[in-house]
């Protein structure tokens, strides 16, 4: 009671300072409710007041919160932070009584969830419950039900829309425990939250532990991965030395183990120990030179299927900078979720993920404006859309400060608690981060020196005579051992692991263990309904139909005797039904497991959908890339005017025909570079995004390539039109509509060919620097052999073939024919001027261009060049993806 009065005092003091009650966290003491985490806009203040007014004497009196029932949604991060800060001040006031209350609340959750599921069974569940006699209709509310238990009562209310429900549970000692039902299916017990606050105050800074409760995501089967005797060898040095058996380097040396769903697993080791190589091997991104066995749910890994059920989030998280968070998410949803899912349903999924990852406030923010931590969260959010059961993270905390790192790992941990298998490589975590992992897989020189629980590390090392010094971070200590700072013990430690000395330190009971009676192995369903108190050591899956993982020692096929599951197919089909059956909570995922084609190695959407989504995205990206787009438009107009002024009215002047050919060549040069260079520059920048998305099975290379190239085409049409219209008339070329249109057509063709060449250079280059150099350099021979600098006859015969593959030659000759050919006749010659060329034929002859040549041939050849280069570029892209997978 003292704590209560102190809390009240604090409350009053705060209020006196002008802070509204709804902005404050009210500690879950006996006289106060917990539901100040409700929405900020409606009802919270009222709730706070009404609960604050309650006294201990109100035992078993149902509390009506009236119209102020919490609306859907959560409070902002800032508000949470504020609440947490306020809570910090109240921490001393949290009594044991509060904690025990919280625990009691947890034990009662099963019943509450059952009630919740009843409500969830119908959006207007109140009506049903009323009919069942369990509800008391309330005249002023959409719905109102109460369920009487032993010395306790539950009041459930539906808000006006009938979609969300808040339940106030009154414990026999009159401690209100508040259940928030989002979309009438998701249960969020604030007692649990309070418990978390009480014991793990700092761990709720961004509520990311809630990420496991992604109720609208598609249901997926949980996955456990087993691997045995993995070795990875790369070639080092020359091909010759390799042929002689030398120059091969073994990076991974016979790694074995298993990773279970529900666990946050760290692959640790010093730099160069082989963490990334191991992760690539696990994710299936390195298959060449990789030996060993991989089992997924007891079945030999099918790479296509596995890549579809897993996602790999790379260290640098390359995302397209010009899309907003929501746009990026919708692209992901449109590509990763089946077409039959409506836009509204996709939006629900997206919003749920964003809100749980704390990105709701940034939905309209461009990716380029997000902070490093937000980018990481968005990268995760993008992949979460289809709820992949396996998540690989390469150094997820790199580049983040300690707080963001903590938040990031909290999120990963909560994702794991939702039934996912989350595997990260991590370099050297701080003690605080280290203790968040469930399982460790420590590498040293490509060998495993420890695999087991995080808690088991120190005892295990101690058992081997390696005592972690007091106040020393165990993560640092094991890295020091792996780096050989205490002598070379890697071989010995690795042998101990192989001999099974680590086994007793394995957490044989995975965080997700079954409480249901179903006997199907590995039938976890990832609907996000898994509830935990967030504590690594005491995750509860009460009432949740989680898998029966029979990880008993000595059985099984690979290492620690994990019994292989039955065929995944059978597991998959039943997940939803089992889930319903086992816990009575209906899954409210807007996408079901049946919606997702989980078997095929093919993509979630058709080629046409992929193309249209990617086309829209590419087009939007080009439009939004204001600098590049504006520069391109500006340069075509400004350079057109400048060139027009430079060669003003020379087109029909026989004395300036030589200058006019210079103008025509310069125009081709200009159009060539303005199409080539932006593509050369932009493509390598996008390659990271493309490789990530393609490896994560978003779309086919074909769809991406076609969309990307077609999206830029309108610019290849419009920009030459701007330029040609200005220069053609300013320079006084023949005033004939036919010639003018052909002139523009040839300019457009030149532009398209140059863009294709740019794509090829961009796709083939290993880096932006290489591309920037390769672009102009590769243009030199094309220009040299164009017939302007050296006529065809002058070129040595052994070099003449180059002239045939120079598209600029066809472009230049074609333009010359359009301007001077097609029976143009006499050129003008001003009085008192010596004209070098009297007729247009003479101009063509001077450049070795036969007037009998047909312009359409030039168009056809250029079109052929365009097609061939595009196909070649596609093959290069394919090769690059293969190389990544290599």
List contacts with ligand ATP (CB under 6 A).
234, 236, 249, 251, 269, 271-277, 427
Q: Report the nearest approach of ligand ATP to the CB of residue 446 (Å).
A: 7
Nearer to ligand ATP, 236 or 339 (CB): 236
Nearer to ligand ATP, 76 or 287 (CB): 287
CB 829 within 8 A of CB 653: yes
Nearer to ligand ATP, 271 or 832 (CB): 271
**How many Å separate Cα 229 from the centre of its chain?**
31
Q: Report the nearest approach of ligand ATP to the CB of residue 401 (Å).
A: 20
**CA–CA separation, 395 and 409 (whole Å):** 11
Helix (H, G, I), strand (E, B) or coil at 552: coil
**810: CB partners within 8 A, 6+ apart:** 858, 861, 862, 865
Q: Report the nearest approach of ligand ATP to the CB of residue 254 (Å).
A: 15
Nearer to ligand ATP, 165 or 267 (CB): 267
Residue 820 CB-half CA count within 13 A: 32
Nearer to ligand ATP, 144 or 451 (CB): 451
Nearer to ligand ATP, 120 or 440 (CB): 440
For β-strands 225-235 and 248-259, DSSP reports them as antiparallel
Q: Report the nearest approach of ligand ATP to the CB of residue 330 (Å).
A: 33
The sheet that has 439-444: what strands, in order across it? 310-313, 390-394, 421-426, 264-268, 439-444, 447-453
Q: Which residue has the tokens 């032993």?
A: 150
**Dihedral in degrees, nearest 10, Cα atoms 794, 798, 804, 807:** -80
Q: Report the nearest approach of ligand ATP to the CB of residue 394 (Å).
A: 8
Q: Report the nearest approach of ligand ATP to the CB of residue 550 (Å).
A: 33
Q: Report the nearest approach of ligand ATP to the CB of residue 245 (Å).
A: 17
Nearer to ligand ATP, 259 or 611 (CB): 259
Q: Report the nearest approach of ligand ATP to the CB of residue 270 (Å).
A: 7
Q: Which two tokens stand for residue 242?
A: 């390799």
Q: Report the nearest approach of ligand ATP to the CB of residue 287 (Å).
A: 13
Q: Which residue has the tokens 């052994």?
A: 798
Nearer to ligand ATP, 272 or 714 (CB): 272
Q: Report the nearest approach of ligand ATP to the CB of residue 272 (Å).
A: 4
Helix (H, G, I), strand (E, B) or coil at 282: helix
**CA–CA separation, 179 and 884 (whole Å):** 48
Length of the chain: 886
**CA–CA separation, 718 and 714 (whole Å):** 6
Q: Report the nearest approach of ligand ATP to the CB of residue 275 (Å).
A: 4
Q: At what angle do helices 737-764 and 807-820 cross, to 10 degrees?
A: 170
**CA–CA separation, 535 and 435 (whole Å):** 11
Q: Report the nearest approach of ligand ATP to the CB of residue 274 (Å).
A: 4
Q: How far is CA 126 from CA 137, 166, 695, 779, in A?
A: 8, 12, 47, 73
Nearer to ligand ATP, 275 or 739 (CB): 275
Q: Report the nearest approach of ligand ATP to the CB of residue 758 (Å).
A: 29
Nearer to ligand ATP, 175 or 376 (CB): 376
Q: Let me know if 161 is exposed, middle or buried by CB neighbors in 10 A (0-12, 13-18, 19+).
A: exposed
Nearer to ligand ATP, 272 or 601 (CB): 272
Nearer to ligand ATP, 161 or 241 (CB): 241
CA angle 434, 437, 443 (to 5 degrees): 75
**CA–CA separation, 466 and 652 (whole Å):** 91
Nearer to ligand ATP, 321 or 688 (CB): 688
Q: How far is CA 156 from CA 129, 179, 693, in A?
A: 10, 9, 44
Region of residue 387 (left: phi > 0; alpha: psi -120 to 50; beta: else): left
Question: Contacts for 395-400 with beta carbons within 8 Å, 24 or more apart?
Answer: 395/315, 395/424, 395/425, 395/426, 395/427, 396/313, 396/424, 396/426, 397/426, 397/429, 397/433, 398/315, 398/427, 399/372, 400/372, 400/373, 400/376
Nearer to ligand ATP, 249 or 602 (CB): 249
Q: How far is CA 361 from CA 358, 366, 374, in A?
A: 7, 12, 11
Nearer to ligand ATP, 315 or 700 (CB): 315
**126: CB partners within 8 A, 6+ apart:** 119, 135, 137, 142, 143, 144, 145, 156, 157, 158
Nearer to ligand ATP, 426 or 819 (CB): 426
CB 191 within 8 A of CB 534: no
Nearer to ligand ATP, 702 or 884 (CB): 884
Q: Report the nearest approach of ligand ATP to the CB of residue 395 (Å).
A: 7
For β-strands 439-444 and 447-453, DSSP reports them as antiparallel
CB 104 within 8 A of CB 176: no
Q: Report the nearest approach of ligand ATP to the CB of residue 706 (Å).
A: 31
Q: Report the nearest approach of ligand ATP to the CB of residue 885 (Å).
A: 13
Q: Let me know if 480 is exposed, middle or buried by CB neighbors in 10 A (0-12, 13-18, 19+).
A: middle
Q: Let me know if 12 is exposed, middle or buried by CB neighbors in 10 A (0-12, 13-18, 19+).
A: exposed
- How does DSSP assign 512-542, residue by residue? S---S----BT--B-SS-----S-GGG---T
CA angle 98, 99, 103 (to 5 degrees): 115
Nearer to ligand ATP, 8 or 315 (CB): 315
Q: Which residue has the tokens 């900020």?
A: 40
Q: Report the nearest approach of ligand ATP to the CB of residue 234 (Å).
A: 4
Q: Let me know if 728 is exposed, middle or buried by CB neighbors in 10 A (0-12, 13-18, 19+).
A: buried
Q: Report the nearest approach of ligand ATP to the CB of residue 691 (Å).
A: 16
């Amino acid at each position: 009671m003292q704590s209560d009065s102190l809390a009240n005092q604090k409350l009053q003091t705060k209020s006196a300072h002008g802070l509204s009650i709804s902005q404050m966290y009210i500690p879950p003491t006996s006289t106060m409710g917990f539901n100040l985490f409700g929405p900020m806009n409606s009802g919270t203040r009222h709730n706070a007041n009404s609960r604050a007014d309650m006294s201990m004497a109100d035992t078993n009196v149902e509390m009506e919160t009236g119209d102020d029932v919490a609306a859907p949604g959560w409070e902002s991060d800032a508000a949470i932070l504020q609440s947490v800060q306020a809570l910090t001040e109240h921490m001393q006031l949290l009594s044991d009584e509060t904690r025990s209350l919280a625990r009691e609340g947890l034990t009662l959750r099963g019943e509450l969830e059952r009630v919740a599921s009843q409500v969830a069974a119908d959006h207007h569940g109140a009506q049903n419950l009323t009919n069942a006699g369990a509800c008391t209709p309330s005249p002023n509310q959409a719905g109102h039900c109460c369920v009487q238990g032993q010395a306790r009562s539950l009041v459930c209310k539906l808000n006006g829309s009938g979609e969300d429900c808040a339940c106030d549970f009154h414990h026999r000692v009159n401690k209100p425990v508040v259940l928030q039902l989002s979309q009438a299916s998701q249960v969020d017990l604030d007692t649990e939250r309070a418990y978390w606050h009480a014991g793990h105050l700092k761990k709720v800074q961004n509520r990311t532990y809630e990420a496991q409760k992604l109720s609208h995501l598609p249901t997926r089967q949980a996955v456990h991965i087993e691997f045995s005797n993995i070795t990875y060898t790369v070639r080092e040095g020359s091909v010759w030395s390799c042929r002689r058996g030398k120059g091969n380097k073994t990076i991974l040396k016979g790694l074995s183990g298993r990773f279970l769903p529900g666990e946050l697993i760290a692959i640790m080791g010093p730099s160069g120990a082989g963490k990334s190589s191991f992760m690539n091997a696990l994710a299936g991104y390195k298959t060449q030179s990789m030996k060993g066995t991989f089992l997924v749910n007891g079945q030999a890994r099918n790479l296509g299927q596995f890549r579809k059920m897993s996602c790999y989030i790379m260290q640098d998280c390359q995302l397209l900078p010009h899309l907003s968070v929501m746009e990026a998410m919708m692209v992901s949803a449109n590509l990763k979720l089946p077409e039959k899912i409506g836009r509204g349903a996709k939006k629900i999924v997206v919003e749920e993920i964003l809100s749980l990852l704390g990105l709701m406030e940034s939905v309209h923010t461009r990716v380029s404006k997000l902070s490093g931590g937000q980018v990481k969260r968005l990268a995760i959010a993008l992949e979460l859309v289809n709820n992949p059961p396996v998540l690989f993270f390469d150094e997820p905390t790199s580049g983040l400060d300690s707080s963001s790192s903590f938040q990031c790992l909290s999120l990963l941990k909560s994702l794991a608690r939702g039934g996912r298998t989350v595997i990260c490589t991590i370099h050297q975590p701080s003690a605080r981060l280290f203790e968040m992992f469930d399982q460790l897989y420590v590498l040293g020189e490509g060998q495993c020196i420890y695999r087991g629980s995080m808690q088991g590390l120190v005892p295990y090392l101690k058992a081997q005579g390696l005592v972690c010094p007091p106040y020393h971070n165990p993560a640092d200590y094991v890295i020091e051992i792996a780096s050989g700072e205490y002598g070379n013990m890697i071989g010995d430690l690795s042998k101990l692991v192989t001999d099974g000395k680590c086994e007793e330190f394995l957490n044989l009971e995975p965080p997700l263990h079954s409480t249901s009676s179903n006997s199907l192995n590995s039938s976890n369903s990832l609907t996000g309904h898994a509830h935990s108190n967030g504590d690594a050591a005491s995750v509860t899956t009460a009432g949740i139909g989680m898998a029966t993982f029979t990880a008993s020692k000595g059985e099984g096929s690979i290492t620690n005797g994990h019994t292989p599951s039955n065929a995944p197919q059978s597991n998959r089909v039943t997940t939803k039904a089992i889930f319903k059956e086992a816990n009575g909570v209906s899954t409210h995922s807007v996408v079901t497991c049946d919606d997702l084609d989980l078997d095929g190695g093919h993509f979630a959407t058709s080629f046409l959908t992929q193309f249209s989504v990617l086309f829209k995205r590419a087009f939007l990206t080009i439009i939004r890339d204001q600098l590049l787009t504006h520069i391109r438009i500006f340069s075509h107009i400004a350079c057109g005017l400048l060139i027009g002024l430079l060669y003003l009215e020379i087109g029909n002047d026989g004395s300036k025909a030589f200058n006019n050919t210079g103008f025509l060549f310069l125009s081709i040069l200009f159009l060539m570079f303005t199409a080539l260079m932006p593509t050369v520059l932009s493509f390598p920048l996008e390659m990271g995004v493309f490789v990530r998305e393609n490896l994560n099975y978003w779309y086919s290379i074909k769809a991406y390539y076609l969309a990307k190239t077609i999206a830029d085409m309108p610019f290849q049409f419009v920009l030459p039109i701007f330029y040609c219209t200005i220069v053609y008339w300013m320079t006084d070329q023949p005033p004939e509509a036919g010639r003018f249109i052909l002139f523009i057509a040839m300019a457009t063709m030149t532009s398209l060919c140059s863009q294709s060449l740019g794509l090829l250079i961009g796709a083939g280059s290993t880096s932006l620097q290489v591309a920037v150099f390769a672009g102009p350099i590769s243009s030199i021979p094309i220009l040299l052999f164009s017939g302007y600098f050296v006529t065809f006859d002058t070129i040595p015969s052994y070099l003449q073939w180059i002239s045939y593959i120079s598209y600029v030659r066809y472009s230049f000759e074609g333009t010359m024919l359009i301007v001077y050919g097609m029976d143009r006749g006499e050129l003008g010659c001003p009085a008192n001027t010596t004209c070098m060329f009297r007729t247009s034929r003479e101009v063509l002859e001077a450049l070795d261009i036969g007037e009998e040549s047909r312009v359409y041939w030039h168009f056809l050849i250029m079109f052929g060049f365009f097609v061939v280069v595009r196909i070649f570029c596609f093959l290069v892209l394919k090769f690059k993806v293969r190389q990544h997978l290599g």
